[in-house]
Copies of this chain bind each other. A is one copy, B any other.
């Protein structure tokens, strides 16, 4: 630890060969005699030699690094996707450089720029809030895959999303099938997935001839936001028989508000979330939801990125997965309905 770290030269000297041969041997080239290989490996081990990845990157112009930009971690869907992507990256022998914009676009921009300076070979964006312009400008420098944002396309950009329209439709159908008519929606602000879900809510209500019952309260895809919106909704007039929340985290907030108001779920009111986060499965929550294959989406994103980096000809730029209705314990037929049976 006192003197400098050993370099390839030190190994070469000790093994009595040239640095070039050491380089070859250590990378497992077949054109190195057994004798030299052995000597080199011994010397390297004795010196505790560690190749310098920085130097290597510079020399061969490959960083073997993928950048990932992940939104805040207070919504577990992001870490879950991260985990999927990260696993694939590791498996392929690449490294992951993680940045996060911390909700501040300026910070985010700076962080993304740093990733590029680090010569990342590919970029995965796990976030609901990226502007199309930013993404396009990034993608002109490095292959990019966007998760969860369907709208963004352009040269160098792939996307992995799940079909939010179909999912939201499933959600509404499920509630209709149970017999609900007075269905309210907790929206999620202006972020893309939330906007789609709200639009479908309105469309489906109208299509079912229930315009009169359309009722939207604005949340923000957080637990707090769901709680707040639901409180307002519940203290504001006729209570709906079901609430479709824009995502699971806010649906859990809605559950809290309902219990505050003495409503039991699903007896008095049904609640339906969206995302399929793993805490929703917990017995204590047991949330009916539209589930997206989060980990798989992360994996797919990484795989797609590697294919693209390898220059494979691929048809299509966006992968759209099908969400799935998970009926659990927070939805049931409305009271009136059940009495009739």
Contact = CB atoms under 8 A, between A and B. Distances in A.
Contact of A82 (B54, B73, B259, B284): B73
B63 A73 contact: no
A95 interface: yes
Interface residues of A, number: 53
Nearest to A277: B279
Given A54-B54, A96-B98, A259-B283, A80 B73 contact: yes
Given A90-B100, A97-B96, A278-B74, A119 B255 contact: no
Contacts of A102: 87, 90
Interface stretch (A109-117, A123-131, A165-173, A315-323): A109-117
Interface stretch (A45-53, A192-200, A201-209, A213-221): A45-53
Contacts of A83: 72-73
Interface in A63-115: 63, 65, 72-74, 76, 79-80, 82-83, 86-87, 90, 95-100, 102, 107, 111, 113-114
Copies of this chain, count? 2
Interface in A128-161: 140-141
B259 A52 contact: no
Contacts of A116: 50
A155 to B, nearest CB: 9
A252 interface: yes
* Cβ-closest 5 pairs across A and B: A256-B283, A53-B117, A98-B98, A53-B118, A54-B57
Given A73-B82, A87-B102, A256-B282, 5 more contacts: A54-B54, A58-B58, A74-B278, A252-B282, A255-B284
